[in-house]
Structure 1
Amino acid sequence: MDKDKRSGLVQSIQRAFKIIEFMASGPREVTLTSITSALGMHVATVHRILATLISLGLVEQVPGSKKYRLGMKAIELGIAALSQIDLREEAAPYLRRLMESTGETANLVVLDRDEVVYIDKVQSSASLGMFVKIGKRAPIYCTGVGKVLTSEMPEDEVKAILLKSGMERLTQNTICSVSDFLEELKKTRERGYALDNEECEPGARCVAAPLRDHTGRIIAAISVSGPSVRFTDARLPELIRQTIEVAAEISRRMGYRGKEISGVNDPKAKLHKLAQVSGE
């Protein structure tokens, strides 16, 4: 008796799912031959499963050709699944893991008009830590999460937010120039994360990374925050790596299937980028 039969799994459903998964991850339209070659299934088996999937609306044959593509029912199911995802619920275990692996407070933040709002957190147990209240609001221009959340917004929209909120100097490191902030957003887009280098509160630093939905749009940000005495230049590359990796995992939970952020697994690249930031 094979393993699938012993475990009670239905092999035909497994095969059907593999075909759907292949169609979702490959070219928009596929042929019978490409499916059989990629999955190692017999032509007759694939043809029979495709006929069933077509009858259910999960797959459709392209009119006037021998190619197949996902049907409207598959799209409907995907949209239904995405609509049932709750950001806070999905992010919660990852925030806790980020806090436990770094020992620093982990935050979940969204943009609300011209401010960022902290909608969830896992507090660090360190004796000297950053306390962030859920529901707290902060400006975009002096927070790592603010930089991340506005990094891909049209420039005129960013300028409108800054015009409305102003750019009050909160510390000696606060960015108070629109042009300097726009340059900071450019760097954030390029490296895939943002830093708050004592720009909002003296003695506090933060690393932030974006969360994306199934369309690739930035819908939220996560961050780790803590005192500068622990967020040393020597430690920042590891905090950056952990934050980016957790953000990527949450994004996958939210349906994102885009490319990984460059530089995540390249310590030299991270150190070079960090050196650039520290020297500015």
Structure 2
Amino acid sequence: VTSIDVLRGYRYVCVDMVSIHPHVATTVQIGDTVGLHAGAGKAILAYQHPSFVDEVLKEPLSHYTDNTPHNPDAIRAILERIRAEGRWVSEGEITPGARGLTMPIFGPRGAVEAALTVTSTKARIPDSRVDELFSLMRQTCEQIARDMGNRPAN
């Protein structure tokens, strides 16, 4: 499943989704909103102003699964890692058993307003394929940024 998620307030909304493997179950569907502390949201949250991050993390943080991060300090550490690497791999944070690969999409003036996510199972996205898939995703994010008239993703 490939999705585009867009910042909406202190949450993100899934605005488009393509599934080529109907047997891959995902919890999030088009139109659903999810907290920025979980899944793809962290790739958007990582690039927001620190005061915005503080506002998001002071709100009650939903527990979608046992793997959903909910400790603000731990989430801040994850956000630093995302900024350093430009990507995030989530493990069952929203859908049990799902693995999500997410990259930010840079919008106007270089702001991150959206993210591209590929979701499947760890068996279908083994560690040995993560770098290859992120390389393809980076190309897609850069093309989306160009189509929007913006600079490519880092």
TM beyond 0.5: yes
- Choose between structure 1 and 2: higher helix proportion: 1
Deviations 1:5-62 (A, max 9, x none): xxxxxxxxxxxxxxxxxxxxxxxxxxxxxxxxxxxxxxxxxxxxxxxxxxxxxxxxxx
Matched, 1:119 2:45: no
Aligned to 1:164: 59
Aligned to 1:32: none
Measured after TM superposition, the shift of residue 166 of structure 1 is: 2.0
Deviations 1:105-131 (A, max 9, x none): 11011111121100111112x253134
Counterpart code for 1:112: R
Question: Unpaired runs of 5+ in structure 1?
Answer: 1-104, 262-280
Q: Is the 8 A contact 1:212 1:254 kept in 2?
A: no
**Counterpart Cα distance in 2 of 1:213 and 1:174:** 27
Counterpart code for 1:139: G
Measured after TM superposition, the shift of residue 203 of structure 1 is: 0.5
Matched, 1:137 2:33: yes
Taking only aligned residues, the RMSD between alpha carbons, in angstroms, comes to 1.8
Counterpart code for 2:140: V
**Counterpart Cα distance in 2 of 1:163 and 1:214:** 27
SS at match of 2:128: coil
**Counterpart Cα distance in 2 of 1:221 and 1:230:** 21
Aligned to 2:121: 227
**Counterpart Cα distance in 1 of 2:60 and 2:33:** 12
- Choose between structure 1 and 2: higher strand proportion: 2
Question: Unpaired runs of 5+ in structure 2?
Answer: none
**Counterpart Cα distance in 2 of 1:118 and 1:163:** 23
TM-score by length of 1: 0.51
Matched, 1:146 2:35: no
**Counterpart Cα distance in 2 of 1:147 and 1:137:** 13
**Counterpart Cα distance in 2 of 1:133 and 1:223:** 13
**Counterpart Cα distance in 2 of 1:175 and 1:214:** 29
Deviations 1:140-199 (A, max 9, x none): 2121x201111111223212112223253622x322211110111111111111221222
Aligned to 2:109: 215
Q: Is the 8 A contact 1:148 1:188 kept in 2?
A: yes
**Counterpart Cα distance in 1 of 2:64 and 2:33:** 17
Q: Is the 8 A contact 1:116 1:138 kept in 2?
A: yes
Higher normalized contact order (CA 8 Å, seq sep 6+, divided by chain length): 2
Deviations 1:60-89 (A, max 9, x none): xxxxxxxxxxxxxxxxxxxxxxxxxxxxxx
Q: Which has the larger radius of gyration?
A: 1
Matched, 1:197 2:91: yes
Aligned to 1:185: 79
**Counterpart Cα distance in 2 of 1:156 and 1:250:** 27
TM-score by length of 2: 0.89
What percentage of aligned pairs have identical amino acids? 24
